Amino acid sequence: MKFEKRKALAAATSVWLIMAVAFVCRVGYAWQQVREISPRALASVPFEQETGNIAMALAAGRGYSSPMRRDTGPTAMLPPVYPLLVAGIFCLFGVFTLHAFYAAAALNIIFSSATCVPIYFAGRRIAGVGAASLAAWLWALLPNAIVIPFQWIWDTSLSALLAAIILWATIALVESRRMRDWCEYGLLWGFTLMTNPALGAALPFLLGWVTYRQRHELQGRFARPAAALGFAILCCVPWTVRNYLEFHRFIPLRSNFSFELWQGNNEVFDDKSPNINARMTRYEQERRFAQLGETEFMKEKWTLAIAFIRTHKRLEMRLFRWRFTAFWLGSFHPIQDFAKTDSAWIRVIFAVNLLTAIGSAIGIAILWRSRNLYVFPTAVFVVFVPLVYYVTHASLRYRHPIDPIVLILTAAAVTGASRRAGCGSTLGKGRKPTQPPL
């Protein structure tokens, strides 16, 4: 009996088993969707957005350009890593083909399944084996993580993997005095910034935290962080130089913040607008983009967005609240949408989003009260990364890159609460939270 219990415990805490289950769940969902959606739609629709359009231009030999499908010249709307991956897929399997979609979805599924590994090892350092296993299982079975690799041919799944790796690497870096480790950490950040610049909101706080944790070091205290930051910046320099040569202005990572800001701040949201038929269509924006060019298009959107924000201050407060809700729950009006939907799957997604959002807040509180050394770097992702979406526009897809950290915090809340209730076991125990790693 004890042997069987130990065997079950070993299986429950096996990161490789968890990753295999995650892979099967994602492949199973993809297989079910492929049987229901026409091959013609799968070959085209998932790529009909900026990533697919830029990748098509690259595969056709037109360079990094044309985010709106039309031949509009060079672009800096997206950082280069993921469009280059999709362009490579197009070169191998054809542009806008069914096999290209299968390859892109398979790559996303691999990224998403592999995220179990950094979730587990980061979670083990933060809150013990029990919380680490629970967080990895939650990720393996998370509806959003099952759906998004298939539904979004975008950097979303890769960004989630990178965010989890960065948290794991940050925690490990505290104990390292080797310059090589810090340089590799900088390279990791450079690759991440070239994939999803929004995650860069965490960089100064994480690097500052690691530097502070090594404040008693006399040798290399500032040299190592400077090297990490230098390597991160160095990774971005070729892209920034390319953007300056193409657009004759400083664009370090991407150019589309003005467009994103305008999308969440325009007359569509104003029910008192004199233009009662205010709306925006993709075709209209593509036409305007082609007419003005990228630089002038972005300038126009910046002017319109800032004017709207200045003249609709009360509405902006409401929009901020809506965007906050949409980021964490997936809808501006989650209660009404939950009641209206006939889909049990959608209701499960709403419920899971709410529970994990609450769980992450409770997890931060529990780690803080227990004086856990790693509460700050973990909370940084939840607190600072979403800020840009609160002022631009939000959806559940934008939350997904920080979902691995949200689940680690949720698992810490569950295991922390169970230990407080006297129900803990060795499964939930790990490093003592007040034991310094140095």
Q: Is residue 436 part of a domain?
A: no
pLDDT at 419 over 80: no
Q: Is the pLDDT at 1 greater than 90, yes or no?
A: no
In this predicted structure, what is the pLDDT of residue 437? 31
The answer for residues whose C-beta is within 8 angstroms of residue 86's C-beta and 6 or more apart is 47, 51, 52, 55, 104, 153
Query: Has residue 431 got a pLDDT over 60?
Result: no
Q: Which of 249, 171, 158, 235 is nearest to 199 (CA)?
A: 158
268-317 residue pLDDT tens: 887 776 664 556 677 788 889 999 999 999 999 999 999 999 999 999 99
Maximum CA extent, the chain:
74
Boundaries of domain holding 281: 2-428
Residue 74 carries which DSSP code? Answer: B
Domain membership flag for residue 437: no
Contact (CB, 8 A) for 132 and 121: yes
Residue 202 in tokens:
């965490």
Assess if residue 433 is contained within a domain. Answer: no
pTM to 2 decimals? 0.92
Condensed to tens digits (0 to 9), the pLDDT of residues 138-182 reads 999 999 999 999 999 999 999 999 999 999 999 999 988 899 999
> Per-residue pLDDT for 227 more than 80?
yes
On whether residue 435 sits in a domain, the answer given is no
Say yes or no to pLDDT of 197 above 70.
yes
Average pLDDT over residues 348-356: 94
Domain tally, the chain: 1
Q: In this model, does residue 351 exceed pLDDT 90? A: yes
pLDDT at 421: 54
337 in a domain, yes or no? Answer: yes
Find the mean pLDDT for residues 27-52: 95
Cα gap 407→300, rounded to integer Å: 40
Judge whether 227 lies within some domain: yes
Do the domain assignments include residue 250? yes
For the cut 50, the answer to whether the pLDDT of residue 436 exceeds it is no
111 touches 160 (CB < 8 A): yes
Which helix (H) or strand (E) element contains residue 300? helix 294-311
